[in-house]
Amino acid sequence: MRKEQFGRFLTMMLVFIGLTFVAFYFHITNGAFDMSVMDVVKTMLRIDPNEKHDLVIFEFRLPRIVIAALVGIGLGMAGTVIQGVTRNGLADPGILGINAGAGASIVIFMFFFQMSSNNLTDDSWSSILMMPLFGFVGGAVAAGLIYLFSWRNGVLDMQRLILTGIAISSGFGALSLYTSLKMNASDYEMAAVWIAGSIYSANWSFVLSMLPWIVILGYVIYRKSHLLDYFQLEEASAKSLGISVEKEKSILLLSSVGIVSACVSVSGGIGFIGLMAPHIAKRLVGIQHRFVLPMSAMIGMFLLVFSDYIAKTVFEPSELPVGIVVSIIGIPYFLYLLVKSRA
């Protein structure tokens, strides 16, 4: 059985790696400036380099694809952890307000530190590296408020969790909007697009600012992924196995908040990836989290790279924020899960 499950896991991973490469191919060759596969291959292998191709690939499309992939991986992993810790299949960083908390903190950072649309693309390393830290503070505050208001008689009330998350998300969303309205016109436009979820202004500085968070915290989460299986038991049963439940839950949740904050700092409020990816992964590879976690990361990567390609091309030369495309997919899926859970 274990060999069969592992074989299925490897097969599904290879399938989604292949699908991601297909999305990568369409994303990097299509746009306002179309290129052939040979143009891309020659440019990346430095065979007869072309200045225009270099600019389009290395300055615009490749960093955008890499950020979409990393954000998809991060949100997929964070969603798996949050659903596992709360034992709630409808939980998600966006629905619970963690995205909104991190986003509000970063909008405030943009307002006070003058992170305008002009200097965001420059090498302002100190500001860019500080954005995930500010996001972490906002996300941690949101997570703390959710726990505070959802805790009842020593137990996390799942019904309260969703309702509290929606309320906190609305509150932080209003704070983001209020702060952005205090900005000047050009900065407000940038902030509004960013709040909707967009990675069109991606560059390599943003990749380097979020990569350590994804790698280090992702490793911590994966090493503790087996604990998520035990958390599906009653809390008393998990404690009887010698697990320090509250300590381990705190480590996993804080790691997830850190990853979400890093993602929000470069992509804005992209929701539903953390909701959809774990459910799809469990249908494909079973319920063991050592398989579900990397599968969710791979599914999240594919969903976001493909969604960003759709956002870039569907109304070309104009672009949609990728968060809108993901929401168009995610809202019907959320309603389906809600109806299914009630049944």
For residue range 301-335, what is the model confidence (pLDDT) as tens digits? Answer: 999 999 999 998 887 777 888 988 998 888 888 88
pLDDT for position 124 = 58
Domains of the chain, residue spans: 2-342
Sign of CA dihedral 78, 122, 130, 145: negative
Give the contacts of 65 (CB within 8 A, at least 6 positions apart): 24, 27, 28, 305, 308
- Residue 296 — very low, low, confident or very high, per pLDDT cuts 50/70/90? very high
CB atoms within 10 A of CB 252: 24
By C-alpha distance, which of 55, 43, 7, 72 is closest to 262? Answer: 72
What was the pLDDT predicted at 114? 63
Residues near 140 by beta carbon (within 8 Å), at least 6 away in sequence: 101, 254, 257
Report residue 171 as tokens. 């509150």
Contact 252, 85 (CB under 8 A): yes
Round to whole Å and give the CA distance between 154 and 64.
Answer: 44
Identify which of 101-105, 167-171, 241-245, 290-294 has the greatest average pLDDT.
290-294
The fraction of the chain above a pLDDT of 70, given in percent, is 93
Options 1.10.3470.10, 3.40.50.720, 3.40.190.10, 3.40.50.360; CATH for 2-342 is: 1.10.3470.10
Radius of gyration of the chain (CA): 20
* Mean pLDDT on 177-196: 81
Lowest mean pLDDT among 15-29, 146-160, 220-234: 146-160
**In the predicted structure, residue 20 carries a pLDDT above the cut 80:** yes
Question: pTM above the 0.95 mark?
Answer: no
So what's the pLDDT on residue 117? 45
